Amino acid sequence: MSAAPPILSVRDLSVRFATRRGSVEAVRGVSFEVAAGRSLGLVGESGSGKSQTCYAIMGLMPGNATVGGSARLEGEQLVGATRARLDALRGRRMGLVFQDPMTALTPHMTVGAQLCEILAYHEGAGSAEARRRALEIMERVRITDPERRFEMYPFELSGGMRQRIVIATALVLRPALLIADEPTTALDVTVQAEVLRTFRAVVEHTGTSLVLVTHDLGVVAGACDEVAVMYAGRIVERAATADLFHAPAHPYTRALLACRPRLDDPPVARLRTIEGQPPSLAGREDDGCAFAPRCGFAQAACHSQRPALLTRRAADGTTREVACHLDAPP
Amino acid sequence: MSRSLLQVEALSVHFPVRGRGGAPATLRAVDEVGFTIAPGETLGVVGESGCGKSTLARALLRLVPVASGTIRFDGTDYSRTDERALRPLRRAMRMVFQDPLASLNPRFTVRQAVREPLDIFEPRRPTRERDRLADAMLDRVGLGAAYAERYPHELSGGQNQRVSIARALVAEPRLVICDEAVSALDVSIQAQILNLLADIQRDTGIALLFISHDLSVVRHLSRRLLVLYLGRTMECGDAATIFANPRHPYTRSLIDAVPVPDPAIERARRAPPLPGDLPSPLAPPSGCVFRTRCPRASSVCAITPPPLRGGPGALFACHHPLEEPTP
């Protein structure tokens, strides 16, 4: 969409797991790109493939997984890259933030020592230089009184501060891309608000690109420029955040937005629901749209032909990608 | 005003712990909390982790000892009765937990799990009748008898939560305590379960105590609301009144922190989130426990704990409450 080459370009990415009960196709041809300094929210329910997409990009796959397609970071192919090369890229060019801040940090090292270790290991930074940069990044993620916190152990920090330290460890080598997998799911709403502000500030001030994985549409509304909604291993809709929320095009996106009670809406007696369950990803896939069995608008074609993810232009000139046979669901 | 089903007065739960340097200390997990629940009513309980929500639920079921205060069910105080006297209450008050897979016995079929409360409370009933009641309850929660022979690991999270709900309801309780009962479920499944709870409440007239960190879900389901912070009541009363016009600054911060699926609102968010961290519950601040994070705190807040006060709609514990709406 912009002229500059994207930081991350994913083309037809697939992930298949070989299990004792046959193969599971967790990701089924996912394509997107993220430009420099932009943020993309990957949204979906459990089993939609959002996390596996990220782990495939990072090269963090178990032995029984087969990754297909392409994922390029600053032009460099990550799918099939050697382990040594991925080790060098992780941390340096792409940082990762996990859900649970307690397990992402080493309990017996001060947070300062952990940040300095990363700098010493990857860049051979001397201790004075490492300390200076560690304090700098702590300030960047809005840690107040960084000099004092530098000497603290993870257990001495609150949950929100811990997660901001994890963000700092992911950012300290100035990566081009930050991937965050449900980074606020384990946190209280009040703490979540603060961590989301941190992400926004980081993307704004450092120019790092962000891929944020979450099940919560409310989280991406404020934190991301663009949103991709995943269902059963595929992207079903990708659009600028404002467009997606104000005029969701895919029936699944609409249903997902409608079935959550909202504090800013008048109370409703009954919630809209999406009946049934997401499909199993095991075995051979049906020919039709994966959402068709749960879709209120499904027609004959939806059950026999899989809709491709195609670009649509709206009357107001905005574009988005939608995988649905219906031009405009009623 | 109808008679209350559950009437809690000045309930406190204290845990003996080791504080700094190993000295014995007391953790006041729930401190002088009071509320009532009428038959068929839903009370939502909200607050951050560590505010005492789950301890409160456990105290109501007498799973942790009560330090002081009274809990009346149908007018009878059971806060200190012995286990034998609790038996009828164990039937009348049931609980649904957050993680259905962890709360169901993996070796029980779905039917056995749902039937078990009847096995315990009505052992004289013929087995076939208990099976029939269990299957009927499975139907009621939308699973159907087709699932009766299956095991929890064969079911999805949403289906297992339906089993937990069926199990909670089968012996016809009058109050069900839901502790984060939909928090582990996907959004689309959450809506199904919330609708199910609402339907069951309408049909059976059970009361619900609904604990959740998710304010949107609590507002959807609750008629009355209790806001806890460090084990103390911050605000309590009619849910619609409080959500529309919270008087306590803590309630306001909680509501403001909830992300709204609307980018325009999120981008324009100007209210800073709650500053600072939850103080240690072992050394709560003097006076008002919320004062260390409160934007309105003054010197009086450090000295005098604010008493609960307010109008007929809701009560709040604050020296400097937010404005009442101008009529």
Nearest to B188 among A189, A245, A256 (CB): A256
Give residue A118's domain range: 104-174
pLDDT above 90: residue A249:
yes
Show which residues on chain B lie within 8 Å of chain A, measured between beta carbons.
48-49, 156-159, 186-192, 194-195, 198, 213-217, 219-220, 240, 243, 253-267, 269, 273-274, 277-278
- Check residue A190 and give its pLDDT: 82
Q: Are residues A157 and A189 in the same domain?
A: no
Average pLDDT in the A189-215 region? 89
Residues A64 and A197 in one domain: yes
Residue B22 is predicted with a pLDDT of 77
**Which residues, including other chains, have CB under 8 Å from residue A126's CB and lie 6 or more apart?**
none
- How many Å lie between the alpha carbon of A79 and the closest alpha carbon of chain B? 30
We report the CATH number of the domain holding residue B220 as 3.40.50.300
pLDDT the model gives residue B271: 61
Average pLDDT, chain A: 90
Contact between residue B127 and residue B199 where contact means Cβ atoms under 8 Å apart: no
Measured between beta carbons, which residues in chain B are less than 8 angstroms from residue A229?
none
Whether B34 is covered by a domain: the verdict is yes
- B308 part of a folded domain: no
Provide, as residue numbers in chain B, all residues whose Cβ is less than 8 Å from the Cβ of A158: 277-278
Q: Do A189 and A263 fall within a single domain?
A: yes
- A190 touching B (Cβ < 8 Å): yes
Tokens of B311: 């109008």
Q: Are residues A260 and A273 in the same domain?
A: yes
Instruction: Say which CATH number the domain at A208 has.
Output: 3.40.50.300
B258 to chain A, minimum CA–CA distance in Å? 6
Q: Where are the beta strands (DSSP E) in chain A?
A: 8-19, 22-34, 39-43, 65-73, 76-77, 94-97, 177-181, 209-214, 226-231, 234-240, 310-313, 319-322
pLDDT at A1: 47
Q: B155 to chain A: nearest residue by CA?
A: A277
In this predicted structure, the answer to whether residue A215 has a pLDDT above a threshold of 50 is yes
In this structure, is residue B24 part of a structural domain?
yes
The reply to whether A267 and A189 lie within a common domain is: yes
Contact A190 B48 (CB under 8 A): yes
Residue A237 lies in a domain: yes
* Residue A136, amino acid: E
Residues of B in Cβ contact (< 8 Å) with A262: 216, 260-261
Asked whether residue A181 is assigned to any structural domain, the reply reads yes
- In degrees and rounded to multiples of 5, residue B300 shows phi and psi of -65, -30
CB A255 within 8 A of CB A291: no
Is residue A50 one of the residues assigned to a domain? yes
Domain-located, residue A309: no
Q: What is the pTM of this model?
A: 0.88
Question: What distance, in Å, lies between the first and last C-alpha atoms of chain A?
Answer: 29
CB B95 within 8 A of CB B179: yes
Find the domain containing B70 and state its range. Answer: 6-251
A256 vs B188, residue with greater confidence: A256
Q: Is the pLDDT of residue A101 over 80?
A: no
A264 at the B interface (CB within 8 A)? yes
A45-59: per-residue pLDDT in tens?
Answer: 888 999 999 999 999
Does B303 map to a domain?
Answer: no
Chain B partners within 8 Å of A217 (Cβ): 187, 261
Q: Say yes or no: A182 and A84 in one domain.
A: yes
**B301 falls within a domain:** no
Total structural domains within chain B: 1
Tokens in use for A290? 């994966």
Say how far apart CA A146 and CA A144 lie, in whole Å: 6
Is residue B297 situated within a structural domain?
no
- Give chain A positions within 8 Å (CB) of B194: 261, 271
Query: Residue-wise pLDDT tens for chain B (327 aa)?
Result: 457 999 999 999 999 988 767 788 889 999 999 999 999 999 999 998 888 999 999 999 999 999 999 999 999 999 999 989 999 999 999 999 888 888 899 999 999 999 999 999 999 999 999 999 999 999 989 888 889 999 999 888 889 999 999 999 999 999 999 999 988 888 888 898 999 999 999 999 999 999 998 899 999 999 999 999 999 999 999 999 999 999 999 999 999 888 888 888 887 775 666 777 778 888 899 999 999 999 999 999 999 999 999 978 899 999 999 987 766
Whether residue A149 sits in one domain with residue A118:
yes
| B273 → closest Cβ in A194, A215, A270 | A194
Interface of A with B in 38-77 (CB under 8 A): 45-46
State how many domains chain A has: 2
Digit-coded pLDDT (tens) for A12-43: 999 999 988 889 999 999 999 999 999 999 99
Do A17 and A62 have their domain in common?
yes
The answer to whether residue A161 scores a pLDDT higher than 50 is: yes
Side-by-side strand order, sheet with A39-43: A94-97, A177-181, A209-214, A39-43, A226-231, A234-240, A319-322, A310-313
Q: How many CB atoms lie within 10 A of CB A154?
A: 21
**Residues A71 and A181 placed together within one structural domain of the fold:** yes
* Cβ pair B259, A219 in contact under 8 A: yes
Q: B260 and A273 in contact by Cβ < 8 A?
A: no
* Residue A263 binned pLDDT confidence (cut-offs 50, 70, 90): confident
Are A196 and A235 in a shared domain? yes
The verdict on A151 and A271 lying in the same domain is: no
Residue A35 resides in a domain: yes
**Confidence check: pLDDT of A225 > 90:** yes
A160 and A226 assigned to the same domain: no
Interchain pair B263, A221: CB under 8 A:
yes
pLDDT of residue B1: 46
